[in-house]
Amino acid sequence: MNAPNIIFIMADDHAAKAISAYGEGINKTPNIDRIANEGVRLNHCYVTNSICTPSRAAILTGTYNHVNCVTTLNTPIDNRLPNVAKHLQYGGYQTAIIGKWHLGEGKEHEPTGFDYWSVLPGQGDYFDPQFIEMGREVEEKGYATDIITNKCINWLSSRNKNQPFFLMCHHKAPHREWEPHPKNRKLYEEDIKVPESKQTKEPDAAKLVLFGFYVTKISQITNERIFKWKRFFR
């Protein structure tokens, strides 16, 4: 059996209720829904530490946070730890991570186990973001979701076709600060279903509309790229 190619796509602070495959009716994400319909949808998925940095460390290392020692938003990872990319590299995979890292910067915390990496420093910016690419700083013009996706496509296109690959595509969206792409700023002007806030019992429409911009953008990107990405699995 041939080793499968793997693309791991992460969105940041992306609630299940904002994906129409889960039936909440807040907005429509047909292209993300297509992935759910053609694959597997997880209805119950629990974590012990759901905040950003610790959850990223758990996904990368496959260990609880008391083991990998990344316990807070401000705790960087020790990049000497074993991780999924290192194991796959050992098994003959080409590996890459592109997008949000948020596990620390510098030689002791930058990505390891990846043949190619290009990550946002800290939270990163939505427009004209800085990236740290293989240890050097570069500025990319454009919108973060587009840039991250295009970098992933470019890496997939230039890789060695004789080896299996593992790609971690980590989007910044829909994390705050909420800055939608200009082409999406006219969306959600109509009335939309707004769930109650657990804190106030009142709808928070402004935040939901801003959140919707990003979910829509990610779904658009999925639509634009899904057929291009499929060819890498043939």
Asked, for residue 127, whether it belongs to a domain, the answer is yes
For 72-115, what is each residue's pLDDT tens digit? Answer: 999 999 999 999 999 999 999 999 999 999 999 999 999 999 99
Provide the pLDDT for residue 23: 87
Share of the chain above pLDDT 90, in %: 62
Q: Which of 14, 102, 171, 175 is catalytic?
A: 102
Asked, for residue 220, whether it belongs to a domain, the answer is yes
Asked, for residue 1, whether it belongs to a domain, the answer is no
Asked, for residue 169, whether it belongs to a domain, the answer is yes
Contacts of 4 (CB under 8 A, 6+ apart): 164
Asked, for residue 155, whether it belongs to a domain, the answer is yes
Provide the pLDDT for residue 138: 97
Active site annotation includes 52: yes
Split at pLDDT 50, 70, 90, the class of 44 is confident
Provide the pLDDT for residue 198: 54
Query: Which of 114-118, 184-188, 211-215 reaches the highest mean pLDDT?
Result: 114-118
pLDDT at 6 over 80: yes
Per the structure, the count of domains in the chain is: 1
Per-residue DSSP letters for 21-54?
A: GG---SS--HHHHHHHHHS---S----S--SHHH
Out of 119-123, 156-160, 171-175, 208-212, least confident range: 208-212
CATH of the domain at 24: 3.40.720.10
* Domain that residue 117 falls in: 6-233
Q: Residue 98 is which amino acid?
A: I
pLDDT at 186 over 60: yes
Tell me how far the alpha carbon of residue 117 is from its chain's centroid: 14
3-state secondary structure at position 20: helix
Q: Which of 44, 45, 52, 171 is catalytic?
A: 52
List the beta strands (DSSP E) in 44-129.
94-100, 116-120
From residue 75, alpha-carbon distances to 64, 121, 182 in Å are 14, 14, 34
Split at pLDDT 50, 70, 90, the class of 24 is confident
